[in-house]
Structure 1
């Protein structure tokens, strides 16, 4: 009795195909711009048939919205990882880590952020007052206030205020050298702490190896 080899799936999982389309679209959008990029170019870059695009997205604008969602989730993942490396009771360190990780996430993907939120802004500005980054910061501020690390009457309002201050700073033209970036992150971290009444000189920098 001859044995038949186990057949391998000929198609990739839908989520993997979707991700490949997004990677291709992001590269092309950054190189050529949204309007100049065609769906056919996206599918060619992803190595799939043109019809596959419409199994996952309704339009290029739909892809761009998916890239926005993935960008914000990626920044949040970096923030969560940085904050969780701090000791449970180190509220000051957690806040410093939050500010530095958030700014780093934006700086690391500055091109995509500009494309998705500045050059082609979302239909509403709700994301500046309500998003998963603000929610996470609001929860951190509330928890720190509960631990007597700082005094915050309205964590939600304060989170929106701090997020938009940080967002505005990282969107400004800055130098491109490592020293320029380090100085910017240092200033952001210091200002966030001071706005909560925490002298920066008393905090261990989130960038310090001793903080892990």
Structure 2
């Protein structure tokens, strides 16, 4: 076994106090997707969108990684092959736990993006509508978040990793959102052993070889221990 590819979703960060999107009382219960997570919503009311992500950025800054994040960082440290974490999350809890190879396919709260020239820079804790880009000086700063209708980041590299995976694990994802919901099928095509970690099977749960039910903070340390014992 040479390569482990891991997809993480909102479920792994929920135990650190960061709200999931689709659960009752989750983030989308207070806001319509169309208002805060689409280019059209940003064009219509940039202050609402910027304030929404400012609040999420402040919340994420205070959050600490849980035992699930820490177990994945320990796996990367101790595993003799390659461990790649692909996350749908925009927080930095994997990095706080010590993971080094993390791909943020949906962007990152700690990053700002220029809509005019695509320059990226570290986001201040509180952004404001009309913030200027430090590279081109245009007043076109936005949160570096992939909104609905936009293409997730690094997809070519992600599919290359899936094609080379010996093990593919999906943690805390709903199976609702593509392309991530299709990753298990890509990994299976390449012969990977597939395992899902969730509180209940996802919409694509039937495609996994193994399903571990329970909080990630409990199931992941056990799995990592199994892998490292060989």
* TM-score under structure 1 length normalisation: 0.27
- The structure richer in helix per residue is 1
Query: Does 1 or 2 have the higher relative contact order (CA < 8 Å, sep 6+)?
Result: 2
* TM-score under structure 2 length normalisation: 0.26
- The structure richer in strand per residue is 2
**Rg (Cα) greater in structure:** 1
